[in-house]
A and B are shown apart, each in its own frame.
Chain A
Amino acid sequence: MSHVRLIDIDKYYGSYHALKSVNLTVDKGEFIVMVGPSGCGKSTTLKSIAGLEAISSGEIWINGRNVTREEPGDRGIAMVFQSYALYPHMTVAENMGFGLKMAKRPQAEIDVAVKRAAEILRITDQLDKRPKELSGGQRQRVAIGRAITRSPEVFLFDEPLSNLDAALRTQMRVELTTLHQQLGSTMIYVTHDQVEAMTMASRIVVFNKGVIEQQGAPLELYHNPVNQFVAGFLGAPRINFVAATLVNLRDGVAEVALEGASTVHVPVADTAGLTNGAKLTLGVRPEALKIGDVPDAALSFDAQVRLVEQLGRETVLYVDAGPLAAIGSESGTHNFTVQLGTAAPYAAGQSIKVSARAADLYLFAPDGKAVNRPKLIAASL
C-alpha cells in the first residue's frame, strides 16, 4: 500500500527549475534513500514532503491524505536535520517531548513517550542535559529521539550523519538500520554518500538536476544502471569510463574500437539510435578488472602501476594505460582504478596486464543511456 505519494512535483526558485515533475511512490515500511550530487533536488524533495518548502505545482499524499497545503506539524511526519536543529534552551527531555507538548498531550503521556524513545536510543541518562553538553553523536541521537517520540507516519532524514566523524557514522548507520527494523516505520533518507545509500536503503532513488534518474534496490541499481550518471554515482571506488567508437553492430553484439587497445565486443540489448561511428562510453567497475590473463577476456590492455593503496583485505591500484585514457577517473588523472579482493604485492612502476570479461562491461550511448543491461548479479558472483 502506498504510504507517501509525490505526484508531478514541480518546484521553481525564481526562474530556476529545481524539481522537474518528480513522481515517487513509497510503500509502508520502506527505507527510501534519495541520493545525488549537490543541488540535484533530493533535499528540496524531502523538505517538500515535510512541508518546509512550498511546491510550485503537484500533490503530496501521506497515508491516504492530500497534505499538499497542510502545515508540517499536521502531516504526520518527523524530521531529523543535518545540523541536529535541537532547541538549545531546552533539556534533552524537553526537546524530545516538544512535539507532543505542542499537540497538547498530557505531561504523563509525554514522559512515557520520551522515556521509551530514550531507552531505544540509550540516552536515558542524558535526559536532563542541554544539547551543548552533548557530543555530536549524542545530539544526533536526541534528534532521532525527538522524531521517535512523535510516533510519526513517516520519518524524514536530511543527511543526518554528515556532521559525524567516520567511525561514528558507521555506527549510526547500523543503528538506524536496526531502528528501522525495530519500528517498521516508513523512512525517507537523503544523503550524498553512496555508501549510506547502498547499505541502508531498501530502495535507492537517484536524483540528478531535479529529475529522478533511476530507482530500485541497491544492487539492482549497482548492476543495472539505466545511464552513465547512475553508473558513475554508485560504487566506490568509482567505475572506470573510457571513450569508445562503434565500428560494427551485428546480432546484438557491438564491436567498439578503443584508443590504444584492441577492439572489444559487447553484447547489447537496446540498439535504438546506434549507428556506426557513434561516440560511446565504455564502463567497467574497478573490481571487474583482473590482473593477468582472464580466460574469456573481452577487454585487455597493458598498463603500468602508478599508485598502490593497501587496505588490508583489499588492494586498490591506479594504473596508467598510456593512450587508453580513463575519463573522469577517481584519482583525477587518466588512470584506471583496479580493485583487488586480496592483499596483493604490487608496487608502483610495475608493468601489468589488465583484463575484463564481456559480461562485466557497460556501454553507454552518446546521450548517456545504457545500451546493454548485463544481468550481472548472478554472473559475477
Chain B
Amino acid sequence: MSELWKRHRNWLAPLLFIAPGALLFGTIIIASSFESVWISFFDWDGVGPKTWAGLANYRELFADPQFYVSLKNNVIWLVMFMAAPPLGLALALLVNQQVAGMRFLKSLFFIPLVLATVTVGVVFGWVYDPNYGLLALIFNLFGATAPALLADEHAVTFAVVVAALWPQIAFCMVLFLAGLNNLSPDIIGAGRVDGARGWNMLWHVVLPQLRQVGFIALAVTVVGALRSFDMIAVMTSGGPFGSSEVLAYQMYEQSIFSYRFGYGAAIATVLFAIMIVFITWYLRMMVRLEKETR
C-alpha cells in the first residue's frame, strides 16, 4: 500500500486535492449549464411533465419586444459600467497618497463594499424618492421639483445603474489599490531618476504595471454588468412595465413568476452565449498579456 502510494503520489496527491472542487464545479456549473440548454428546448412549468418544443422558445423570444428592451438595458448597463474601472483607478490613485487622514478617507470609500447589494438598492431607492429623498432635497433647495426617476421608463435604468456603480467603483478601487501596493518601488525610483513625473510617471511607468489588475477589474465589471439582477429586483422589480428589466431579470421573472422554465432557460442560454463571446476575448487577451510581461 505505502509502496503503491510512494510510486504514484506525484499524480495521486494533486488529484485527491482537486477532486472535491472538480466534483462540485462539475455538478453545479458544468452539468447545470448543459441542463439549462437542454431545458430551453422544452415547454415546462417547473413541476409537471416536460413537452418537447424544439426551437419554439427561441422563436418566441426573438419575437418578444420585452427581449429587446432587456437586451438594450443590458447594453446600457455594460456601457455605463465601463466607467467603474477608470473611476476606481482615479480613486485608488487619490487615496494612495501619503497625506494625513487618508486612511480615514480610504475606509469611507470602502463602505459600499461591505454593504449588501440589497442594502445599496434600498438606500438608493430612498435617495431617489421624489418626496423626501436626498435628490428631492437637493432639487427643493433650488426651488425645483424632483423627477420620479424610478417611475420614469426612460430614466429608470440609468438611475439603477448609477446606484449599482457605487459599489462597483469601490470594488475596482480596492483592486487597483492592491495593484498599487504591489508596484516595485525600485522601478518607480528608476522612473524618478529618469525624470518621469506626474502624468509621464503615471502613463509610462505606473499604468503599464497595473495592466494585469486592470484586466481583472474590467472582467469583473463586464460580468457584473451582464448578470445585474439583484439591484433591479430590489429597486424596481423590472418596472415600470418591464422597462428596467435586463436578460437576467427577465429570465428570473419568466421562470419563477410565470412558471415558464423552458422559456427562462432559453433566455439564460442567450445570456450565456453573450458571456462566452466576452470570456473568449478576455482569456485570449490574458494569455497575450502573460506572454508579454514576466
Q: Give me the interface of A with B, judged by CB distance under 8 Å.
A: 47, 50-52, 71-74, 77-79, 81-90, 98-99, 102-103, 130, 132, 146, 150
Contact = CB atoms under 8 A, between A and B. Distances in A.
B193 A72 contact: yes
B293 A89 contact: yes
Contacts of B3: none
B294 interface: yes
A84 B186 CA distance: 8
Contact of B195 (A74, A81, A84): A74
B189 A87 contact: no
A103 B197 CA distance: 11
Contact of B194 (A51, A99, A132): A99
A20 B190 CA distance: 26
Contacts of B192: 51-52, 71-73
Interface residues of B, number: 21
Given A98-B204, A130-B292, A132-B294, A85 B195 contact: no
Contacts of A98: 191, 194, 196, 204
Interface in B155-188: 184, 186-187
Nearest to A81: B186
B189 A79 contact: yes
Contacts of B205: 87
Interface in B195-249: 195-197, 200, 204-205, 208-209, 211
A87 B293 contact: no
A77 B184 CA distance: 20
A79 B195 CA distance: 12
Nearest to A53: B189
B39 to A, nearest CB: 47
Given A79-B190, A83-B184, A87-B190, 4 more contacts: A52-B193, A85-B190, A86-B190, A146-B194
B278 to A, nearest CB: 25
A85 B192 CA distance: 12
Interface in B89-113: none
27 contacts: A51-B192, A72-B192, A73-B193, A73-B194, A74-B195, A77-B193, A78-B193, A79-B190, A81-B186, A81-B189, A81-B190, A83-B184, A85-B184, A85-B186, A86-B190, A87-B191, A88-B208, A88-B294, A89-B209, A90-B208, A98-B204, A99-B195, A102-B200, A103-B195, A130-B293, A132-B293, A146-B190
B194 A50 contact: no
B195 A73 contact: yes
A139 to B, nearest CB: 12
B95 to A, nearest CB: 22
Nearest to A103: B195
B4 to A, nearest CB: 41
A150 B193 CA distance: 10
A85 B196 contact: no
Interface centre among A50, A81, A82, A132, by most B CB within 10 Å? A81
Contacts of A85: 184, 186-187, 189-190
Contacts of B294: 88, 132
A282 B211 CA distance: 60
Nearest to A152: B193
Contacts of A79: 189-190, 193
Contacts of A88: 187, 208-209, 293-294
A37 to B, nearest CB: 21
A134 to B, nearest CB: 13
Contacts of A146: 190, 194
Contacts of B293: 88-89, 130, 132
A53 B71 CA distance: 55
Contacts of B204: 87, 98, 102
A136 B147 CA distance: 64
B189 A89 contact: no
A150 B211 CA distance: 28
Contacts of B196: 73, 98, 102
